[in-house]
Every structure is written in C-alpha cells, then in structure tokens.
Structure 1
Amino acid sequence: MSMEAKDPEMLIADAAVQESITEEQQQFFLDNGFLVIRNVLRGAELELIQAEMMKLVDQGAAGMAGDPDYSYGTGVKSGGRILKRIEYVIDKSDPMKALLGQPFILRSVEKLQGRNFIPTWDSMVLKMPDEGIIVPWHRDAEVPEGADPAKPIFNVDFYLDDADLRSCLWVIPGSNRWSQEQAALRCKREGFDTSDAIPVPMRAGDVILHDITVVHGSPSGDGNALRRTVYYEFRPGDTEAEFGPHTLEYLSLKQHMLVDCLERRKAAGYAKGETAFEYRPHGAFRLHGVRKPPTYRYAHADYWRQG
C-alpha cells in the first residue's frame, strides 16, 4: 500500500443539528481515521470549560514541580520550560466530569464501538502562546493483534480555542489502515513534512475524533495563539478485556465513574433540554447496581496488567 495519501472529500458532522454521527460519517471515520464535528461545545458550557481549564493552565504555567500530572517541554521562542500537557482533567474539574456525559459524543462512541465502551484516558494538550511545541508525526498507540477492526480505539479531541495553520492538527488520511512498519517509516521522515497530509483547522467548541493509529502531528508554533485541546479516549470493552492494557478491575471502576458523570451532566444547567445518553452495557459488562466512585483519578500505572 502506498504511503502517499490522497485528500478525502471532507465530511463534517454538526452537533447543533444531529443526534449523533451518521452512517456516512461513521464510514468516513473508519476509512480515514478522523472526523470533524462542529458545535459540540456551545454557549455557557464552552465558556465554563474554557474558564475552568484556564485555571489549570495558570497553575501549570506557574510551575507544578514534582506533580506527575503536569508535563513540560522547551518553548520554541524562549527556549524556556513550557507547559505542554496536563493529565486526569476529569479529576481536577467538575465541568469536565459533566463533559464525559456529553450525549452527542457518547451516542457516536456507541455507534463506533458498541454498547460496552469504556472511557480510558483524559488529558489536556497545550500550545502556549508563541511557544507552540512541535508534536512530531506519530501514532498514539497500536491496536492489539486480533482486536476487532470494526470497533476502533479513538480519542475525542475537544477544542477550547481556535486552531489555525500555526497550531492545528495535521493528519494523513487513511494512515489508520497502514501496517506498523509503514507507519514507523513515515514517522521517521525528517522534518515536519506535510506533503501527504492535510491540515484540520478548528473553532473553539469543535471536536475531532481521531483513531489511535492514524498518523498525525502539529508543527512548532510561530506566533501561535493559545491552543487547549482536551482528549478523552474510549476503548471497546471486549478489546480491553481480552488484550488490556488495563486490568478488569479498572474497566469496572471506569464504568461506574462514567455513570456518575452522566448523572452530573443531568444536573448541569446548560444541559437542560438535551436528551441524556443512557449507558447500556450488556453481557459481561452489564452493571449490577451503581457505586459512587471514590475517586476520578485512576492512575494507569496502578492498573496495568502483568505480563
């Protein structure tokens, strides 16, 4: 298979007028490894989340020495220590708990992964003003051999700020269908070569679904504005149960956390009038009673499988 991707005719979903992604949009995602969704966050919810996440940015920028949830890199303009990532944002903010219950997103996740989906990672990736740190070409991870290809593992990328050509994601359409060897070879290419890639400019409140195996990245900033992107990853429960990397205990804990976040969303004033998502796992993943989670920060390292 050639590694020179062709630009697809972009399909864009709109959460302001749809209940979930359509079958055509679902197929676009499966074929290309990404899908843009406009207007997921709007009005009071967007403003509240922007303000809440700015508090975390300010804390991190001031320095969180010794806190493993805050990661730093070298700024492209100052050469200084610049905040680039914050982990476990659901634990750190109540509006981010309610965001996990966003119905358009969860209906779309269920459409792609089935009823037994599990929320896994949650983090915020940053490009600080004028200091946008390059994100080299990469895949987030590889899918375990033998996993159902019809149920992709993917991230939901919530954009809290506009992203133009100085800060947006670049993606290689269809690279989610490449072999590991093809992807590794492309990612080794020198420089931030965009000859086979397309830019994906975004507006605040928009979302990208991106498959963990699609090759993507973003260049270093040159006069870039602040860009905050919250990432919620979801995985099919049967894939996780069979292949990991998390233990079965982790899956159950995150299911109960999701149910709690769904109840929190129902109580949010900005969610009035929307049709709440109903989480209906079945089979081995069916929930028998609901427990209030003792925490919203289940550190991955505490739940890795052995061997």
Structure 2
Amino acid sequence: MSQQKIHIPEADALLQDEITSEQAQFFLENGFLVIRNVVVGEELRLLQEQTMKAVEIGMAGSDDEDYMYRVRKNGERKYWRTEYIIDKQEANKALLAHPFILRSVAKIQGINFIPTWDSLVVKIPNQAASVPWHRDALVPEGCTDPRPIFNVDFYLDEADLKSCLWVIPGSNHWAAEVAEERCALPGFDVSDAVPVPMNPGDVIFHNIQLLHGSPEGDGNALRRTVYYEFRPGEIEAEFGPHTLEYLSLKQHMLVDCIEKRKEAAYTSGETPYDYQPKGAFAIGTKQVPKTYRYTHTEYWRA
C-alpha cells in the first residue's frame, strides 16, 4: 500500500537551545516531532555501554518483574522492555536532566511538568517482536486541559525501515472509537502512516494518544530506545493516576538528576536546566531521593 506523504520538520539540538514555536505547533497538530543530535559523544557512548547490561540480562531471560517480554508470531518469547531504567543506570539519571529536552518540555507543558514513566524498549537483533498499532494511554476522563502528555524517546542505535517506529500523523486528535477501529485492522497496515527513521542520539517526542507501532523484526539490528514520559503537574494533580505524594517525590528526583548531570564530565560548558515549578508545585527544601524506583502501583490513586 502507498504511504502517507507529509513534510516532517526536524529540530536540531546542536543548532538550537530548545524547540521553536513552529516545531512545537507541528508537534501539537501531528502528535510527534523529530529532534536530531540530542545525545552525542561520551554521553551517547556511556548510555550505549550501560544499557547493554540491561539488554544482556533481558536476552538471557529474567524473572525480575522489571524485565518484560513479547511473543513473536512463531510463539517464541523474546525480550522487549526494562522498566525503571533510571534506577538501573547512572547515565540515565543524567539523561533525565538534559537541558534541551527539559526546556522543550516546559515550552509545551509549562514549568510545572512532572517526569513520570521511564523505560528502556529494545528490538533485539533479527528477532524483534512486533508492537501493534496502539495508544500509550488515554487522557484522563473529564480533562479539558489542552496541553499534551507525551513521551520523549531517546534513540541509542540506528532505526531503519526494519526497526523504526511508524506513526499516524494527527491520530492523537481522533475519537476513541475511531482509534480503536484503526487498531483493529488486520496485519500492520501502513497506508495512512509514515516511518520515522532515526540515528543514534536522536529523539522523538510522541503524544501518548498518537497511534504508533512497529512490525515484527526480520534481519533487524539491535535498537535501544529510552522512554521518559512527562505530564503537566496540573493534570496529574487533578486527575492522577498518581497520588500527590508521587508528584513531589518525582520532582525531588528530577532535581537530584539535574545535580548529577552538572557533575558529569561530558556536560562541561552546558547550561543546566533550572527547574523552578511555581504555586502548589513549588519544591521548597530539596530532599535527597531515597530511591530512583518509585513504582507506579504503590502510588496509584484509589
């Protein structure tokens, strides 16, 4: 089938301090945005080196609940994902504090943003399981706040047409029943979709309501992607799904990660992000995190 034709503007972290208003508008309308050259040099090398340890554990098979698996068409169970990656890798702590990303998140969500999910998603060589068309989550029922909830996808490896993400531009605005009908189509239909090839160090912003997925791998190379989700604090405070305690804990964790990034040798000359949420989200006295793994289930609202 023929694929959708769309001009996809790109940001470049080597040339910009944050995304432009035009790039932000493209993201709001289409549900995704590509940003090139976000992670480079020694930081990229360390992320590749450290996340490989999680990949090796996952591929060897693990009973740890943070390691997740999918089943291929032939029935084989293959490693797919590791949750709470910030807790497991030092380089991922500093990555959460990347100033270009945080400035861009604040531009879209406002200064009271909260970091929520963090995961490593992997397509293992030659045997990647498919990820069918889906939405990551729904906007909370009753929420009329127009600001998007979205993931920041850091690519640590090349993603070509054998391993890249496919997206349906604008599907973040579709009604639930329309999205469900599209996801129910057989096979991995790309007639209304576009592929998003990526280079190591590039980033995709994608709205949690954007329809996206990827077909089963056959001859694909290793592809590692770190996912950090961000939500406007006002939406989280009013609708959840997390408790107010969770929001505060994650704010202090972010502040701690910003300090860790300042100490990293590869960030010399970088202007750190100054996280100064206001009003009910003001931080006050800094607290050292007791952990970097605040499990969602422990902080769900009743």
User: Could you say whether these structures have the same fold, taking a TM-score greater than 0.5 normalized by the shorter chain as the test?
Assistant: yes
Name the residue aligned to 2:67. 70
1:63, CA displacement in angstroms? 1.8
- Please give the TM-score of this superposition, normalised by the length of structure 2: 0.97
Task: Return the match for 2:183 from 184, 187, 197.
Answer: 187
Name the residue aligned to 1:171. 167
Name the residue aligned to 1:103. 99
SS at match of 1:105: helix
1: CA distance, partners of 2:143 / 2:266: 38
Contact 2:155 2:203 in 1 (8 A): yes
Number of residue pairs matched by the alignment: 301
Contact 2:72 2:216 in 1 (8 A): no
SS at match of 2:58: helix
Name the residue aligned to 1:145. 141
1: CA distance, partners of 2:123 / 2:92: 20
Contact 1:76 1:131 in 2 (8 A): no
Matched, 1:207 2:176: no
1:164, CA displacement in angstroms? 0.5
SS at match of 1:182: helix
Name the residue aligned to 2:129. 133
2: CA distance, partners of 1:37 / 1:148: 28
* Residues 193-224 of structure 1, C-alpha deviations (whole Å, 9 max, x = no match): 00000000000100000000000000111100
Task: Return the match for 2:81 from 85, 88, 93.
Answer: 85
Contact 2:105 2:113 in 1 (8 A): yes
Matched, 1:23 2:21: yes
SS at match of 2:237: helix
Name the residue aligned to 1:267. 263
1: CA distance, partners of 2:178 / 2:76: 35
User: One-letter code of the match for 2:181?
Assistant: L
SS at match of 2:117: strand
1: CA distance, partners of 2:5 / 2:226: 26
* Residues 209-244 of structure 1, C-alpha deviations (whole Å, 9 max, x = no match): 000000000011110000111100000000000000
1:150, CA displacement in angstroms? 3.0
Identical pairs, percent? 63
User: One-letter code of the match for 1:284?
Assistant: A
Contact 1:121 1:233 in 2 (8 A): yes
1:145, CA displacement in angstroms? 3.2
Contact 2:150 2:206 in 1 (8 A): yes
Contact 2:122 2:223 in 1 (8 A): yes
User: One-letter code of the match for 2:41?
Assistant: G
Name the residue aligned to 2:235. 239
Task: Return the match for 1:122 from 108, 112, 118.
Answer: 118
SS at match of 2:125: coil
Taking only aligned residues, the RMSD between alpha carbons, in angstroms, comes to 1.4
* Residues 109-167 of structure 1, C-alpha deviations (whole Å, 9 max, x = no match): 00010010000000011110010110000000110234344310000000010000011
Contact 1:32 1:175 in 2 (8 A): yes
Name the residue aligned to 2:55. 57
Matched, 1:42 2:40: yes
1: CA distance, partners of 2:246 / 2:285: 17
1: CA distance, partners of 2:187 / 2:162: 16
Higher mean alpha-carbon deviation, 261-270 vs 68-77, is at: 68-77
SS at match of 2:55: helix
1:75, CA displacement in angstroms? 4.3
Higher mean alpha-carbon deviation, 143-152 vs 109-118, is at: 143-152
Name the residue aligned to 1:155. 151
1: CA distance, partners of 2:103 / 2:227: 17
SS at match of 2:209: coil
2: CA distance, partners of 1:258 / 1:138: 29
1: CA distance, partners of 2:153 / 2:209: 15
1:73, CA displacement in angstroms? 2.0
- Please give the TM-score of this superposition, normalised by the length of structure 1: 0.96
Contact 2:109 2:147 in 1 (8 A): yes
1:8, CA displacement in angstroms? 2.8
